[in-house]
């Protein structure tokens, strides 16, 4: 996970319908996941983290991590003002299931791609369109060049 640089183009690996989901090593931004899945008030990361089933799962994940490596990192900023919650990727996948079936399936697909070594780099739609057009122009110029060279 993370970000790659292609020339001057920054390509995010986790991008759901135009929403970039930040990651820090094994940690995913629950805040970004929540926003990407629609940002329903009733499904905020803080509300989900307060559920007893979430606490139980969090404890199980944290028991497998190195000492001093928490499963959750919260940057306080106030409701809707600069706060952010990061969680271990396993906790993030559990949160994805809570957010929505479509978002959960997308997350599962991303994990499967990593397992298969097919990590997709998502490029913004406008950049893809520019690349497609540039490729088309290059093919047209190459074809024109061949036609002009014929005796």
> Is residue 147 very low, low, confident or very high in pLDDT (cuts 50, 70, 90)?
low
- The predicted model gives 36-49 an average pLDDT of 94
Distance CA 128, CA 44 (A): 32
Q: Where are the domains of the chain?
A: 3-120, 124-151
Secondary element (H or E) of residue 52? helix 52-64
Q: Number of C-alpha atoms within 13 angstroms, CB side, residue 50? A: 6
pTM exceeding the 0.85 threshold for the entire prediction: no
> Is residue 61 very low, low, confident or very high in pLDDT (cuts 50, 70, 90)?
very high
> Is residue 62 very low, low, confident or very high in pLDDT (cuts 50, 70, 90)?
very high
Which of 78, 92, 76, 77 is closest to 24 using CA atoms? 92
27, pLDDT greater than 80 = yes
Mean pLDDT of the chain: 80
Residue percentage of the chain with pLDDT more than 90: 40
11, pLDDT greater than 60 = no
Range with lowest mean pLDDT among 18-27, 77-86, 103-112: 77-86
CB atoms within 10 A of CB 149: 7
- Write down the pLDDT at residue 47: 94
Strands 23-24, 27-29: pairing is antiparallel
Q: Under the phi-then-psi rule, with left for phi > 0, alpha for psi from -120 to 50, and beta for the rest, what region is 91?
A: alpha
In contact, 69 and 23? CB cutoff 8 Å: no
- Write down the pLDDT at residue 4: 39
- Write down the pLDDT at residue 135: 72
Within 8 A by CB and 6+ apart from 124, the residues are 15, 18
Which of 123, 106, 117, 87 is closest to 11 using CA atoms? 123
Within 8 A by CB and 6+ apart from 83, the residues are 31, 74, 75, 76, 77
């Amino acid at each position: 996970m993370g970000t790659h640089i292609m020339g001057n183009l920054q390509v995010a690996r986790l991008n759901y319908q135009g929403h970039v989901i930040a990651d820090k090593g094994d940690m995913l931004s629950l805040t970004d996941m929540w926003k990407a899945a629609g940002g329903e008030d009733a499904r905020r990361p803080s509300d989900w983290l307060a559920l007893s089933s979430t606490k139980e799962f969090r404890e199980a994940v944290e028991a497998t991590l190195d000492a001093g490596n928490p499963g959750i990192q919260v940057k306080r900023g106030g409701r809707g003002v600069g706060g952010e919650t990061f969680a271990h990727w396993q906790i993030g996948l559990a949160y994805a299931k809570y957010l929505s079936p479509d978002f959960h399936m997308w997350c599962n697909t991303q994990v499967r791609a990593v397992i298969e070594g097919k990590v997709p780099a998502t490029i913004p739609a406008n950049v893809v369109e520019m690349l497609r057009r540039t490729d088309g122009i290059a093919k047209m110029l190459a074809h024109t060049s061949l036609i002009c060279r014929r005796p």
